Chains A and B, each alone.
Chain A
Amino acid sequence: MIPLSWVLVSAALLFGLGLYGALARTNAVRILIAIELMLNAVNLNLVGFSRYLSPHDVTGQVFALFVITVAAAEAAVGLAIILMIVRQRDVSDVDRINLLKW
């Protein structure tokens, strides 16, 4: 059996990768994908904990299912927003979405 620490380390790496992507990338779609990576890291955590804490406790797995569903809804709304901007202004680079600035 794979030890829990492997699951947690890979989840942490995945989360770090996603966070880096979300902060360092400027293309809105790339940022969205990076955020999805972060959410998948959460799912990995949840399912890993659920499996190792007690084999009969499915709370973590149910939680992960909800996270997946909500992430899909979030991505749908996000892509719609990005599409709205691209249609009108032909940019998906967040550095160029800069009308509002202090």
Chain B
Amino acid sequence: MPTLPIVGEVDTAVLVAQLIFLLPELILAVTGTVIVAISPLLRGRERPLVFVAATGVLAAFAGLGPSVGGAGEVLARMLVLDGTSTFFRPVFMLGALIVIGLSPDYLARRQVPAGEFYALVLFATVGIMLMASTHELLMLYLGLELASISGYVLAGMLRSDARSQEASIKLFLIGAMGSAVLLFGLSLVYGITGSTNLVEIGHALTGGAAATFRPALLAATMFLVAGFGFKMAAVPFHMYVPDAYEGAPTPVAAFLSVGLEGAAFAAAIRVFVTGLGIIQPNWAAVFAVLALATMTLGNVTALLQQNVKRMMAYSSIAQAGYILVGLAVATDRGISAMLYYVLAYTVMNLGAWAALIYLSHNGQSEELADFAGLGRRAPLVAWALTFCFLSLIGIPPTAGFFGKFLLFSAAVDAGLFWLAVAMAVNSVISLGYYWNVVRAMFMEEPATEEPLKASPVFGLGFTLAVLGTLLIGLGAAPFFRLVSAAVVTLP
């Protein structure tokens, strides 16, 4: 009887002892399950569940303790503890925490079942955290599907709203197709290298498999680029994103734009750098073209939007284009810049989405006209939104500036001048559509003076996002060290 490689010689006792490294994910999953179980008992008074969900995420932060400083592959090589996973897991939990804080007013207003919402956000967070912390293709796929399937349901949570339904079906059909394409690429990589572990795949490829099976490997790479392209919202795989984000409930759009996209980048770093590092010139060139197309098309199309929610969807496509520069450069500096940018993007983008959530839970729509006079009706929100926009454009001393600066200098360093110039030009273009909103807020008369309200929980979530944008920018130095340390461990 041959030993089965999946379980290998791993001792069950060791396996159970190693579950401690999975503590954050376990806590999140258990919290989600508890919320599902108790929400029917609350008979519609589901508002307090926000505290259960937030407590779960905070406990999960504490659960990271044993994993910090750990190194190597644990749990039958399904989970990897290294700088990258140590970096990404808290980033994704921070994103989830902010989204949970921003949601309760919106959920109450639009009569979304809060229990289901929080549970699905928590499950999706488990999925994206697993995607970022594994070298195993199977685990990567399972994490991706856990996050994606939760996302399909979340997008359709306004059940009687035809636009939410449409967002859900578009996200589902394109998302499932993207997963299938990605999976086909993964199956080819497994066939070429005989392994599903990215480190072993890297060894097999450097050991000669890359030369022997070159055409098959290039084909597999194209499938992987396309599959990840769908999940990252990269042009030309972005067609569903504006529709999905516009129709989905606003907190869901916010969550998808930072969580799922961020996880796709994290997983892409692992697959391409760790696994397919040997054919780096091939995929890096493709990513360079994708980055240029994504940021340019995202920004130019965003200029044409009247609906701010749709504009933010195009803006997040453009931001994905900037992050892709990191993969196009594919040096250690490029990857660490990418990590920093994902962190900055998480807080600044959630801060901008928060203003949209604020308007819609006050019964406004998300057209540009609804922002008129917001500077007088809700000065704090208006200034915070302006600040997040400055960060998204890349103006100092915000987090976005340092992120762009790092990506820019990494591109120049690697000799990709044209891409660096394209980034700068695109930042200028993006000024146009953000300015439209800012002008409406501060220079136009409000249609009504009716005051806008928000609960303290919303305020906390918003503050967390805006403060994060400020602190990650002002105190950038420790975060630089963090991302540089995170990237060293990449082989």
Are A and B co-members of a single complex? yes
> CB of B5 within 8 A of chain A?
yes
Selecting from B242-250, B262-270, B344-352, B482-490, the interface stretch reads: B242-250
Residues of B within 8 A of A85 (CB): 165-166, 169
- Alpha-carbon separation in the docked complex, A66 to B142 (Å): 8
Residue in B4, B153, B183, B246 whose CB lies within 8 Å of A100:
B246
Q: Are A70 and B142 in contact (CB under 8 A)?
A: yes
Chain B, range 143-202, C-beta contacts under 8 Å to A: 145, 149, 152-153, 156, 159-160, 162-163, 165-170, 172-173, 176-177, 179-181, 183-184, 186-188, 190-191, 194-196
Residues of A within 8 A of B183 (CB): 39, 42, 67
Q: Are B181 and A62 in contact (CB under 8 A)?
A: no
> CB of B6 within 8 A of chain A?
yes
- Alpha-carbon separation in the docked complex, A102 to B303 (Å): 13
Chain A, range 66-102, C-beta contacts under 8 Å to B: 66-67, 70, 73-74, 77-78, 81-82, 84-85, 88-89, 94, 97-102
> CB of B75 within 8 A of chain A?
no
Residues of B within 8 A of A57 (CB): 5, 194
Question: Known pairs A19-B177, A35-B173, A62-B6. 14 more at Cβ < 8 A?
Answer: A18-B180, A41-B184, A45-B188, A46-B187, A46-B190, A49-B191, A58-B4, A74-B145, A77-B149, A78-B152, A78-B173, A82-B169, A100-B163, A100-B170
Residue in B142, B173, B246 whose CB lies within 8 Å of A94:
B173
Q: Are A77 and B187 in contact (CB under 8 A)?
A: no
Q: Are A84 and B145 in contact (CB under 8 A)?
A: no
Q: Are A22 and B177 in contact (CB under 8 A)?
A: yes
Q: Are B196 and A63 in contact (CB under 8 A)?
A: yes
- Alpha-carbon separation in the docked complex, A62 to B165 (Å): 35
Q: Which residues of A contact B (CB under 8 A)?
A: 8, 15, 18-19, 22, 28, 31-32, 35, 38-39, 41-42, 45-46, 48-49, 53-54, 56-60, 62-63, 66-67, 70, 73-74, 77-78, 81-82, 84-85, 88-89, 94, 97-102
- Alpha-carbon separation in the docked complex, A32 to B142 (Å): 19
- Overall SS of chain A's interface: helix
CB distance from A57 to the nearest CB of B (A): 6
> CB of B300 within 8 A of chain A?
no
Chain B: number of interface residues, binned into ranges? 35 or more
**24 contacts across the A-B interface (CB closer than 8 A):** A22-B177, A38-B180, A38-B181, A41-B184, A42-B180, A48-B191, A57-B5, A58-B5, A59-B6, A59-B195, A63-B137, A66-B141, A70-B142, A77-B149, A78-B172, A78-B173, A81-B172, A82-B169, A85-B166, A97-B169, A100-B170, A100-B243, A100-B246, A100-B247
Q: Which residues of B contact A (CB under 8 A)?
A: 2, 4-6, 137-138, 141-142, 145, 149, 152-153, 156, 159-160, 162-163, 165-170, 172-173, 176-177, 179-181, 183-184, 186-188, 190-191, 194-196, 242-243, 246-247, 301, 310
Residues of A within 8 A of B181 (CB): 19, 38
Residue of B nearest to A40 (CB): B180
Residues of B within 8 A of A58 (CB): 4-6
Q: Are A81 and B156 in contact (CB under 8 A)?
A: yes
CB distance from A47 to the nearest CB of B (A): 10
Residue of A nearest to B180 (CB): A38
- Alpha-carbon separation in the docked complex, A88 to B163 (Å): 12
Residues of A within 8 A of B4 (CB): 58
Q: Are A70 and B173 in contact (CB under 8 A)?
A: no
CB distance from B290 to the nearest CB of A (A): 20
Return the 7 tightest CB-CB contacts between A and B, nearest first: A49-B191, A38-B180, A56-B2, A45-B187, A100-B243, A42-B183, A53-B194
Known A-B contacts A31-B173, A41-B184, A67-B183; the reply to A60 vs B152 at CB < 8 A is no
- Alpha-carbon separation in the docked complex, A98 to B191 (Å): 40
Q: Are B163 and A99 in contact (CB under 8 A)?
A: yes
Q: Are A63 and B138 in contact (CB under 8 A)?
A: yes
Known A-B contacts A42-B180, A63-B138, A81-B172; the reply to A73 vs B5 at CB < 8 A is no
Residue of A nearest to B182 (CB): A42
- Alpha-carbon separation in the docked complex, A100 to B171 (Å): 13
- Alpha-carbon separation in the docked complex, A85 to B243 (Å): 16
- Alpha-carbon separation in the docked complex, A97 to B357 (Å): 25
Q: Are A38 and B152 in contact (CB under 8 A)?
A: no
Residue in B5, B165, B242, B246 whose CB lies within 8 Å of A88:
B165
- Alpha-carbon separation in the docked complex, A57 to B181 (Å): 24
Q: Are B247 and A42 in contact (CB under 8 A)?
A: no
Residues of A within 8 A of B184 (CB): 15, 38, 41-42, 45
Q: Are B177 and A66 in contact (CB under 8 A)?
A: no
Residue in A8, A38, A74, A97 whose CB lies within 8 Å of B166:
A97
- Alpha-carbon separation in the docked complex, A15 to B223 (Å): 12
